[in-house]
Structures are given as structure tokens and as C-alpha cells.
Amino acid sequence: MRQCQAVVPDGLVNPAVLKLARRARVFQAGKRGPGAPSGAHRRLSQARINSLLIRLARRGWSVVRLKGGDPFVFGRGREELEALKKAGIPYEVVPGVSSAIAAPAYAGIPITDRRLASQVTWITGHQRSDGASRVDWDISSRGTLVVLMGVSQWPGICRRLLKKGWARKKPVAAIESATTPAQRVVLSTLADSVEVFRSRRVVAPAVIVVGEVVRFAAQLGWRGNTTPLDGIKIVVTRPVSQAKHFVRMLREAGAHVLLCPLIRIEPLSHLRQQVKELRPGDWDQILLFSANAARLMDQACRGVNEGLRTVSVCAIGPRTAREARSRGWKVAKVAATHDSQGVLAALGRVQNKKFLIPRVQDGPQEFVRELVRRGAHVREFALYRTVAVSPSRHVRREILGGADAVTFASASAARSFFEAFRPSEIKRIFERGVVVSIGSQTTRALRRGGLREIVESPVSTGEGMLEAIKERFSRPGWPGWNEE
């Protein structure tokens, strides 16, 4: 992958794998049939794929044909090699792990068991284009049956099995998007599976397993891993530059993270000139409401007004405190929560004290009014503004396709979300997903937009949000697992 000049991947190849091809051009050759997620249905004929491989190789390029699973298990590998051999092009075969084996294993289903199944039958749900069937339906029901590419054909396959005498209560599992963070397992019985798969909207790609071994899925867990958020799809709406730590924590917990930045931070013009005019002796304390404020205030003061660093700082939250201290500011107090009460508790007596608040433009005024009411002298100093960002079409499609949680770390991101998505789309997103808020101010913005069921972080930090998410998805019956 690192040395080749061209990669021709199947549609189900994980995009992360393609990052290995640093110097190669990527030529998508995915064949995704009906039933695939919205927007993913593509058709590229086998003849065109064969021609593409030959054309690229004749340029003198080293070409990787990246198949999903094993190239010779329902993968048309033989047809491609025959075309290459006929064209006089040398090739090498690297065996892969077929989803026929990997998907059940990752779902906790052993396809053989010395007590329950001593034989396995694999079949494809799709037959030749001329309609001729190559499947011998006299399949023993004493073993395990694994069906690939069978979602759209399952009603017919199910009827054939029942007609051949398979038990109506035979366990069935549909393993959707196997081995990916979006994996979902839907369990049923043979008699009920058609209706269950329809009601649960099982879509391709999915591997269907029929047999007594399916019972182990419920006993061993629906995945081969036990990380707290394994299989949970979480949308992060923070700017990419600010989300790195939170995203890393989520991924370490097993979550599938989709970055959807809804705001960007834009420093205001003439900032350094305005900072130059501030006199350090005029202030008892500087209040830093966010890591953004700490970072931008430091940049504005550097080489212009270093004296401001001698003023005592009260930071809101540990992350803001860490950011300020790392830049040499004197953090004397840290508010535990991102609300008025938390800051006032940290400040103590404020009467006749002078506070400088470098912050976001047009920020909420409740806290400032409370300081003034208590006798403090306050000057707000606008450092930056937040600008709404519209998600890309790809990200929109991913979110509308389903997410388990959408996280908000600011009221401005919440407001941008309501601008980016229509009410009908928001309703669709939260049919499955939950809303996760970093604190009370963000929660209020979400409620003003019409959302009611909100998981609020007990502590206004990324760590607090992570714990809230873990607690929510540790409950039985979370949306990714469905045992009928």
C-alpha cells in the first residue's frame, strides 16, 4: 500500500486503510447493491473493473486491488485474475479474512461448537444475472448456515429454509456493518426474522447466521470487545482544533467518532492594539471563561502588554486553568462548573473589586449582571467571535443515517446545529440518538431549540461528558443492541 501507485478498493473497504496509500491514486470500484445505506448504492460492472486494472497496470504502475474480505470467497477474484493473465499482466494474491468468518466471530458467535454444530454451510444471497441458482437447498439444519449478501433476498431464503423443514424457532442473527464501529446485531427466530429485520431496518452490508450457535451472541456479548463505548457512534460538534483531546478519549473508550464542527473561532481585528491600552494596575482579577479566551488573550498580550500576566486569574474549569498555566498566567482560582454559581463561589466576595473579562463577542450577560449587582466593577473585552459552520454533505448524510449521541460543548454550537438541520431532520436524528450537553448554559440553548431529553455532564469538562456518555450507554437496552 505504501509503495504502490494505484489502489482499486471495494466499496466496503474501511477508508482508514486507504491512508496507508500515501503516494497512490485511489480508483473506487465498489459494487453496492439495493439495501445499502442511503447514498452508498453504486454499480460498477465486473468488465469495467477488469479493464481498469489492466489499463492501470499497462501504465507501468504497481496496482493494489483491495478486496473486501477474501478475494476468492464470493469475491470474483478468479474472474479478475483470468483477465489479468489473458492480458499478460503478472499478479500476486494476498489471502484475506472473509466476512463469512470474521463477522460472526466479532459478534460473539462461534460458527462451530462441538456440542451444537460440527459443520458450516456458506451461501451467497445473490445468484447469477441469468437467474440460474447454484445453491443446493437441501442443507442440513444440524449445522450453521452463513448467508452473505442476503439482506434483500432474505424473505425468499427464509421461505425456502422453512419449506425444507428448518425449525421455526431456529435462532437467527443479522450482523450489520460487521467489525466496524457501526456494527449492529439483530437477533430473532427463523419464523419471525423477516418481520423483525424489516421493522429494525436491517440494511446491507450484513451477514446473516442461522443455527443454535447464535444463542452465544447473547451470552458472550454482541462484540468481541468490552470497551465501555464499543460500537457507539458519537457526533462531536466542536471545532477540530479543540476537539482532539475529547475525540481521543472517546476513541480509547471504543466509540466511533464523527467530527462535525459547527462553529469556528475567529479572533477580532485590532485586538493587540486594544490589549496594549489595558493597564495591569486597573484590575484585581482577570476572568477566563474558556480555553479559547486563555489562548487568544495570551497571543494578544505577547510582546505588547506582558504586564497583564502579573494580574491574578480566575479560570472556569480545569481545562481553561491548564491552558492558562501552560502559557505562564497566574491562575489563583478555578471554578468547578461553567455556571454563575460556580464562578461566584470561586471568586468569593466581589464588592468594589475590578474584573476584566476577555471573552467571546456577544456572550451571555447573566453572570456579568450578577457581578455588578453584588458591587463589582466589570469590563468585558471581546477577544473573538464564533462563526457558524455548515456540515459537509458527507457528514450530513452520516448523521442523518443514524448516531447514538450528538455532543455539544457550547451554546453557540447548539444554535448552529438548529440552523444547519431542519426540524424534520432533527426529529429523525434523535429518534435513535441522545443529546449530550457540557453544562447548564448549553442545555438552555438546546432546550430553546426544542430538545427536551438531554444528558447533561455533571462536570463541565470533556472528561465529565465522557462519564455521562458511559453512564447513559451502560444501561440495558441501548439502541445499538436489540435482542428480539
Angle between helices 340-347 and 366-373 (to 10 degrees): 40
DSSP, res 364: -
Q: In the numeric block, which cell numbers belong to residue 110?
A: 462461534
Q: What is the pLDDT of residues 359-414, one digit of tens each?
A: 888 887 888 888 999 999 999 989 999 999 999 888 898 898 878 899 999 999 99
Q: In the numeric block, which cell numbers belong to residue 325?
A: 498555566
Q: What is the pLDDT of residues 146-182, one digit of tens each?
A: 999 999 999 999 999 999 999 999 999 999 988 876 7
Beta-carbon count within 10 A of 32 CB: 18
Q: Of the listed 67, 149, 170, 230, which one is catalytic? A: 149
Beta-carbon count within 10 A of 78 CB: 10
Q: How confident is the model at residue 232 (pLDDT cuts 50, 70, 90)?
A: confident
Q: Report the distance separating Cα 219 and Cα 362, nearest Å.
A: 54
Whether the ω angle into residue 205 lies within 30 degrees of 0, i.e. cis, is yes
pLDDT at 476 over 60: no
Q: What is the mean pLDDT of residues 338-363?
A: 86
Maximum C-alpha span of the chain: 90
Q: How confident is the model at residue 131 (pLDDT cuts 50, 70, 90)?
A: low
pTM for the complete prediction?
0.63
Q: Phi then psi for 434, rounded to 5 degrees?
A: -110, 160
| 8 A C-beta contact, residue 351 and residue 376 | yes
More confident residue, 428 or 221: 428
Q: What is the pLDDT of residues 11-57, one digit of tens each?
A: 888 777 888 888 899 998 876 554 444 344 456 788 999 999 999 99
Q: Of the listed 1, 31, 192, 249, which one is catalytic? A: 31
Active site residue 149: yes
Active site residue 249: no
Q: What is the pLDDT of residues 264-282, one digit of tens each?
A: 999 998 888 889 989 999 9
Which domains, from first to last, does the chain contain?
A: 6-96 (3.40.1010.10), 100-126+140-220 (3.30.950.10), 233-262+389-483 (3.40.50.10090), 266-388 (3.40.50.10090)
Active site residue 31: yes
| DSSP-derived pairing of the beta strands 331-335 and 313-316 | parallel
Angle at 437 between CA 432 and CA 441, to 5 degrees: 140
Owner of C-alpha cell 455556571: 339
| 8 A C-beta contact, residue 323 and residue 348 | no
Q: Phi then psi for 348, rounded to 5 degrees?
A: 75, -140
